[in-house]
Amino acid sequence: MADVFDKCDEFWTRMKKVAGEHFDKGVNTFFREFPVTNCLPTVTLNGVEHLQVSTNDYLGLATHPDVVAAATEIVRESGVGTPLGARPLTGNTKLHLHLEAELAKFRKTEASLVFNLGLGAMSGTIACMVGRKEKVFVDAYAHGCLHDGARLCKGEASWFGHNDMDDLESQLKECPLEQPKLIAVDGVYGMTGDLAPLPELVKLKKKYNAQLFVDDAHGTGVMGANGRGTPELFGVEDEVDLHGGTFAKSFGTFGGYLCGPKKVLDFVRFVSPSFMLTKALPGCITAATIKSLELMQSMPERRTQLWENIDVLRTGLRDAGFAIGNPEGAVTSIFTRGAMALTAVDLLQKNHQIIVNPVMYPAVPYGTSIIRMTPSALHTPDQMKQLVAAIVEVAKTVPLHEGNEAAAHKAIAKTST
C-alpha cells in the first residue's frame, strides 16, 4: 500500500538516473562540511588550505571589521536573537526602521520593508499582491521563491521562457488590458549570470498595463555605477515598480527586503504572512546590515576589484574553450551534460584544493549540470588564473568541453509550461 514516504525513494531513483556514473562519485559534494567563516578567499578543510570560489559574499563584507563590530555591539547590549517578537508586536525597533529608511534612500523609492528572509520577501509579496482575477507572469529561470509566490497567490500564474520577450508578449496579449497583472523577474539570474532585459520588460509592462517586480538579489552591490543593481545599470530605476533583494549576498549578512511605493508596502506589511507571522530580523543582523549598506556605497573600489577578478576568470575560461554562455552579472558557470559537474567539482576539491559549486536538476533543467563559480572582491587575479588552470586539468579527465549551454536553454522552454 502506498504511503507519503514513497516519494522519497522515487526522488533518489530519479536523481541517480540523471547523474548516472557521476552520482556515487559526486553526490557527497552536496552538504559538504565547511568552517563557519566559509566566505574567506581561502578556507581550511581537514587541515588543508583550499581556495574558495563558491559563496555570494561578492564584496567581502561578511567579515569586514566594521560590520562585525556593529553586530557585536548589539549582541553585548541586547543578546543574540533579540528582539524576540514579530514586527507587528514587539519586534519593531529603531534599528529596523533606520535600515528601512536607508534602504529607501539607496533604492530611490518611497519606502522599504525588511524581512527576516529573502525568500519571505519575494514569495510573500507575490502571494499577497496577486489576488483573484489577477495574473502574474514569472520568468522560467527566476529564483524559486518567485515561483513559490506565484503558486501561493490567489490569482492565476503563468511562466514564460527565460528572457523570451516574444513568449511573454504572446501571453500578455491573451489577457484583457484592464486585467491587473504583475511581471516577476530576476535582475541577474543566479545560475547563468545573465541579465533580465529590463528596458524591454519596461516597454511591455507599459504596453499591457502591468507592474514589474525585479528580484535583484545578485545585482545589488555588483551592478550599476553606484551598486544599485540591474535597474541602475539599465537606467530604469524609476520604471521598476517593486525592487526586491536579499542581504545574504553583497551585504554579507542575512534577511531580505522590498522597496517601492509606500501604499504598496503598507499593504504587504499588514497582509503578508511572511512578514506578519514571523520573528523580526535579529537586532545584531540589522545593525550589521546598516553598516554593510554604508560600506557598499562608500567603498566602490571593492566593486572594481570584484570585476577585475571576474574578467580574468571569464577570459581564461573562454580562451580555454569552455562554454560559459554570456554572463553579465557576478556568477560564472560552465555548462555540462548530465551530471558531469558533480565529478568535476569533486576532483577540483580533492586534487586541486579548490572549492566551487555543482548545480544540477531541479535547480537547472533535466539532463544539465553546471559548475558555478562566484569570485569576490577579496580574491586576486592570480587566484582566478589558478582556478582556470585547475579546471583545464580536470577537463582532461571529465569532458567539460562538451558544453551543454544550448541544451540548457532549449530545456527552459519545457520547464516554463
pLDDT tens-place string over residues 76-92: 999 999 999 999 999 99
List of residues 6+ apart from 249 with CB closer than 8 A: 56, 57, 58, 217, 218, 220, 221
pLDDT attached to residue 34 = 83
The C-alpha cell at 410 is 532549449
Is 65-298 in CATH node 3.40.640.10? Answer: yes
pLDDT attached to residue 411 = 36
pLDDT attached to residue 416 = 32
pLDDT attached to residue 54 = 94
Residue 276 main-chain phi, psi, to 5 deg: -70, -40
pLDDT attached to residue 415 = 34
Q: Are 59 and 303 in contact (CB under 8 A)?
A: yes
pLDDT attached to residue 26 = 63
Q: Are 78 and 237 in contact (CB under 8 A)?
A: no
The C-alpha cell at 349 is 576539491
pLDDT attached to residue 407 = 43
What is the side-by-side order of every strand in the sheet holding 111-115?
111-115, 256-260, 242-246, 211-215, 181-186, 135-139, 156-160
Residues of the chain with pLDDT under 70: 24-27, 403-417
pLDDT digits (tens, 9 = 90+) for 108-155: 999 999 999 999 999 999 999 999 999 999 999 999 899 999 999 999
- Where are any strands of DSSP class E within 8-67? 42-45, 48-52
pLDDT attached to residue 360 = 81
Domain residue spans of the chain: 21-52+300-415, 65-298
pLDDT attached to residue 27 = 67
Instruction: Determine if residue 266 is left, alpha or beta; phi over 0 gives left, psi from -120 to 50 gives alpha, anything else beta.
Output: alpha
Distance CA 405, CA 370 (A): 9
What is the topology classification, in CATH, of domain 21-52+300-415?
Answer: Aspartate Aminotransferase, domain 1 (3.90.1150)
Would you say the CATH fold of 65-298 matches that of 21-52+300-415?
no
pLDDT attached to residue 404 = 55
Distance CA 377, CA 57 (A): 9
HSE of 246, CA atoms in CB hemisphere, 13 A: 25
CA angle 260, 133, 211 (to 5 degrees): 25
The owner of cell 576568470 is: 313
* Residue 9 identity (one-letter amino acid): D
pTM of the entire predicted model: 0.92
